[in-house]
Amino acid sequence: YTYIDDLLDGILLLMKSDLKNGVNIGRRQYVSVIELVQTIAEASGKKINIKHIEGPVGVKARNFRNDLIKSIGWKSSYSLRAGIAKTYPWVKAQVEANK
């Protein structure tokens, strides 16, 4: 998961670079679904009960290589926690405005 400001910084760097092929913009940190859920719950200030259910074994998780974007100086500034903390209030306001 990559915070929008980090993504935009990467796009601007790409526009100024000589790179021609597809480039992945993203953090190298692997984030599990449980970590994402816990981080969102923390940002919301709500206590939730997480129920693990059996399910089919899916595709193994993987991160994409981001060597090219790093080669032109891109670095993420926001951790998952910081990005969710900034995003959650906006999402909450959008949901409340559309009730």
Lowest-pLDDT choice from 11-20, 47-56, 71-80: 47-56
Burial of 83 (0-12, 13-18, 19+ CB in 10 A): buried
Side chain identity at residue 25, one-letter code: I
Overall pTM surpassing 0.95 (yes/no)? no
Taken as a whole, the chain contains a residue count of 99
Nearest to 81 by CA among 24, 28, 10, 3: 3
79: helix, strand or coil:
coil
The pLDDT of 2-30, averaged and rounded, is 92
Element (H, E) at 95: helix 80-97
pLDDT for position 65: 80
